[in-house]
Copies of this chain bind each other. A is one copy, B any other.
């Protein structure tokens, strides 16, 4: 039995358009909150393959998505490169010792040594694959080097990215040195995720919009493409999805050997189709806050279907689902995606 989600990623025709939601294994689900409470904290949950497996599978059963996405966090990569990650309640992730110099970069653990430390991720993947239904796909993921580097340089989330950008404009060599070292680890990390059993790769460039359009290729996109090239050469049948958030002005410049372009909600689907629809399958892109209203959800799903016509398309939100969305509204979204895209079989 084939996986409709994998087929759709590869541009094959499918009986309906598959759908999943970014952050679908998350805080809007009471079942997730229960497992997380047992685990103690967020990072413990990432480090616990059995519990990570459990929350990864929840949205398949509860809301009916067509693919599971590995429960983990993008920051486990810099953590295993030797940076000291913690999650401070109400403040988000923190690294105690941000990178400021060449020596700091040299001290980071690189390549296979770092990638080999992420055993809890590979263990979780193996467990999930044992339990996941044959017709559902498992998406593995990583942060893009730029997005990971922002945390490694700022030491935490940021509104202005001013420390990263000071480096970008006044010491670009150092920034490239960080990006290159992260890229090497990410390549091997994703390779090991594939070897452990994931069916599809997604690369999140969550902070893409922090770079001015004229510099985006230099400091982010080309590293993503390098990772995609590396994986595609070894694993041509594993689809790769790239999700760079907030770069409508860069669409004309998108290039690279990957399968699916993830469209965020700030980019109209019609614009993405016009610019990229011939080259890539498009994934997206309902504004996640529409989930607060079933009526607005239906309107948006119908409008996206009307634009995409069920061709070379995967339904998703244009960013992660928020914690205060009612579960039944999430189910409604999934059902509506299936309803509007189901093809008559005779």
Sort chain A's interface into a size bin: 20 to 34
Stretch binding the partner chain, chosen from A220-228, A233-241, A290-298: A290-298
Interface assignment of A265: CB less than 8 Å from any CB of chain B:
yes
Q: Assuming A169-B289, A289-B169, is B212 touching A162 (CB within 8 A)?
A: no
Interface assignment of A249: CB less than 8 Å from any CB of chain B:
yes
User: Complex Cα distance A213/B168, Å?
Assistant: 30
Interface assignment of A324: CB less than 8 Å from any CB of chain B:
yes
B residues in contact with A296, CB < 8 Å: 169-170
CB distance from A338 to the nearest CB of B (A): 22
Interface assignment of A214: CB less than 8 Å from any CB of chain B:
yes
Q: Looking across the interface, which residue of chain B has its beta carbon closest to that of A319?
A: B160
Interface assignment of A166: CB less than 8 Å from any CB of chain B:
yes
**Identical copies in the complex:** 2
B residues in contact with A169, CB < 8 Å: 289-290, 292-293, 296
Stretch binding the partner chain, chosen from A44-52, A56-64, A119-127, A266-274: A266-274
Q: Which of B162, B168, B248 contacts A322 (CB 8 A)?
A: B162
Q: Looking across the interface, which residue of chain B has its beta carbon closest to that of A271?
A: B249
B residues in contact with A213, CB < 8 Å: 266-268
Q: Looking across the interface, which residue of chain B has its beta carbon closest to that of A214?
A: B268
User: Complex Cα distance A318/B213, Å?
Assistant: 12
Interface assignment of A209: CB less than 8 Å from any CB of chain B:
yes
Interface assignment of A73: CB less than 8 Å from any CB of chain B:
no
B residues in contact with A214, CB < 8 Å: 268, 303
A 242-259 to B, binary, CB cutoff 8 A, 1 in contact else 0: 000010110000000000
Say yes or no: A322 contacts B265, CB within 8 Å: no
Say yes or no: A324 contacts B162, CB within 8 Å: yes
B residues in contact with A267, CB < 8 Å: 213, 249
Say yes or no: B165 contacts A289, CB within 8 Å: yes
User: Complex Cα distance A248/B271, Å?
Assistant: 11
Say yes or no: A322 contacts B249, CB within 8 Å: no
- 21 A-B pairs, CB-CB below 8 angstroms? A160-B322, A161-B289, A162-B289, A162-B322, A162-B324, A165-B287, A165-B289, A165-B292, A166-B292, A168-B289, A169-B289, A169-B290, A169-B292, A169-B293, A170-B292, A209-B246, A209-B266, A213-B268, A214-B268, A246-B246, A249-B268
Beyond the given pairs A162-B289, A165-B287, A169-B290, 17 more chain A to chain B contacts, judged by CB atoms under 8 angstroms and listed by A's residue number, are: A160-B322, A161-B289, A162-B322, A166-B324, A168-B289, A169-B292, A169-B296, A170-B293, A209-B246, A212-B266, A212-B287, A212-B318, A213-B266, A213-B268, A214-B268, A246-B266, A248-B248
The 8 closest A-B pairs by CB, nearest first: A165-B289, A169-B293, A212-B287, A248-B249, A169-B296, A166-B292, A170-B293, A248-B248
